[in-house]
A and B are shown apart, each in its own frame.
Chain A
């Protein structure tokens, strides 16, 4: 357990600047999407400067395309490096996904087959990112809606091997475990257990919780969409407890990006995470 293990955070939205700035909110850290803070200056950065005096910061990238076939975008690496230098986050994370192709940014976290070749590619990209930043990063498990014929490596083993090769950690998105397992028709508790069993001890550096949207498919089955626009569902809270029991407390973030609720709603979710986290050695 590290000094940061019990930290509870929320995704920062400018609409919540007023309740956060200069107030003593029971929140330990704020997470930002890196790309929203890559302008030259202005209000976004001055808000962060003000908030950083009170809350720890976590930088969550959505644009590096670590799973992409393109060579890493060096200009974007430089922007991320500058952002981290400017705001000194305690966590930096990105996704096991691709989001650019042929020099075009596609604005979504797209899935990749899990094979020895894609593992080698992602590992190279993570190596380059970590070398560029001069620090370790966390890689998030994606929300998946489909699988590929050529995949030969289960996701938990893929992430575990990525950690071993690069020294990176994992941002375990509990809701993505629920979404992926539901969509690929396997029990979410089993996918979570496989993940916890496969990952080397100490590699989970952060947990994400958020609310998906449930859609009934043409065949009558349920599909989950990772919308970040609803309360964390009970099924995800159950998985969270299961993860805490398995690996102990980990910095936990409530992620709400669409239909952002009133501050109090977010605070109540954070309080619930804190309470659960405290039952496992946060004291």
Chain B
């Protein structure tokens, strides 16, 4: 079926609206004799192009549901939220939340968390790398009352599903079998590589608290409450060994968040 629109002349609004029609249309204002399928080139480019941008960002989500399902889901996402910026590397941050509410994906309950993990990997790839304070210098600060400024690349995904194992399964054929337990994953960058490491529940609570801007003391407290067996020294050493602590911001009257990375 081909819809026809009364010819009132070209407007970008009319042309843009026609780009998102589900069925082929011809916008007003084209030169006489323009074959009807020429506008199709633009309509398909725009619709398929944004879906492809999401595909590039969520390869494992795509692998989990198959290309056809992913494309349909991506198109639904695109019609609900077009990018507002030409910087497409930012497009798709809302995909995990969208998937959580996307009824046809309900049969794959871990899909949204895998998407969140792929978002975190993308953010780590593009994040700035800040010079870190020497550990000796850090130890001169009273850390209990300090907030930590962490590398912007650091993200955390906490999931009731084994997101890292699922993801790893789509990276190499010889990945270990998936143990269906909850998993928390820290994502960061080392040199030119994005790395992901499973972290135990108390360490995940500690990282989440630091990323939310709590003081080191507060984060220790959160971690001890989250689960038994939290080793504060080891958790801090884990951060230092990876150069993830940029600086400690001392003082009890520091207001607000010290790091804009969220618990992602």
Binding site for B on A (CB under 8 A): 35-36, 38-44, 46-47, 62-65, 68-69, 73, 75-76, 79, 98-108, 110-113, 145-151, 183, 217-219, 223, 225
**B126 part of interface (Cβ distance < 8 Å):** yes
Complex formed: what's the CA distance from A102 to B15 in Å?
A: 12
Q: Are B86 and A42 touching (Cβ within 8 A)? A: no
**Given A107-B49, A108-B45, A108-B46, residue A44 in contact with residue B10 (CB < 8 A):** no
Indicate if the CB atoms of A149 and B9 lie closer than 8 Å.
yes
- Most chain A CB atoms below 10 A, which of B12, B15, B16, B46: B12
Q: Is B140 part of the binding interface, using a Cβ–Cβ cutoff of 8 Å?
A: no
Known contacts A42-B153, A42-B189; A35 and B86 CB within 8 A of each other: yes
Query: B127 within 8 Å of A by Cβ?
Result: yes
Decide: A145 and B42 in contact? CB cutoff 8 A: yes
Question: Nearest Cβ distance between residue A156 and chain B, in whole angstroms?
Answer: 17
Contact partners of B125 in chain A: CB under 8 A: 39, 42-44
Q: Give B247 Cβ to nearest chain A Cβ, in Å.
A: 17
Q: Are B127 and A41 in contact (CB under 8 A)?
A: yes
Please give me the residue from chain B that is nearest to A113 by CB atom.
Answer: B10
Cα-based distance from A39 to B9 in the complex (angstroms): 39
Q: Are B152 and A40 in contact (CB under 8 A)?
A: yes
In the complex the two chains form, is A102's CB within 8 Å of B16's CB? Answer: yes
Which B residues are in CB contact (< 8 Å) with A38? Answer: 87, 89
- 15 additional contacts (CB under 8 A) given A107-B86, A218-B37: A38-B89, A43-B189, A63-B86, A65-B86, A69-B13, A101-B12, A106-B16, A106-B82, A107-B45, A107-B50, A107-B53, A108-B42, A110-B12, A146-B39, A151-B31
List chain B residues, Cβ under 8 A from A101: 12-13, 16
Q: What count of chain B residues pass the 8 Å CB interface test?
A: 41
Q: Whose C-beta in chain A lies nearest to the C-beta of B34?
A: A146
Closest 3 CB pairs of A and B: A63-B86, A39-B126, A41-B128
> Is B163 in contact with chain A by the CB < 8 A criterion?
no
A146 touches B49 (CB 8 A): no
Pairwise interchain contact B49-A113, C-beta atoms closer than 8 A? no
With a cutoff of 8 Å between Cβ atoms, the chain B residues found around residue A223 in the complex are 38, 41
Contact of A105 among B15, B34, B82 (CB under 8 A): B82
Query: 14 A-B contacts, Cβ less than 8 Å apart?
Result: A41-B127, A41-B152, A43-B189, A63-B86, A63-B87, A68-B12, A76-B87, A101-B16, A105-B86, A106-B82, A107-B83, A147-B31, A148-B30, A150-B9
Smallest CB gap from B17: residue in A: A101
In the complex, the answer to whether B192 meets A46 with C-beta atoms within 8 Å is: yes
A218 to B24, CA, bound (A): 15
Task: Indicate if the CB atoms of A149 and B126 lie closer than 8 Å.
Answer: no
Task: Answer yes or no: B84 CB below 8 A from chain A CBs.
Answer: yes
- In the assembly, what is the distance between CA of A146 and CA of B32, in Å? 10
Nearest A residue to B129 by beta-carbon distance? A41
Q: Does B19 contact A (CB under 8 A)?
A: yes
Is residue B29 within 8 Å, beta carbon to beta carbon, of the partner chain? yes
Which of B13, B32, B38, B153 makes the CB contact (< 8 A) with A149? B32
Query: Across the interface, which residues of A come within 8 angstroms of B87, CB to CB?
Result: 35, 38-39, 63, 76, 79
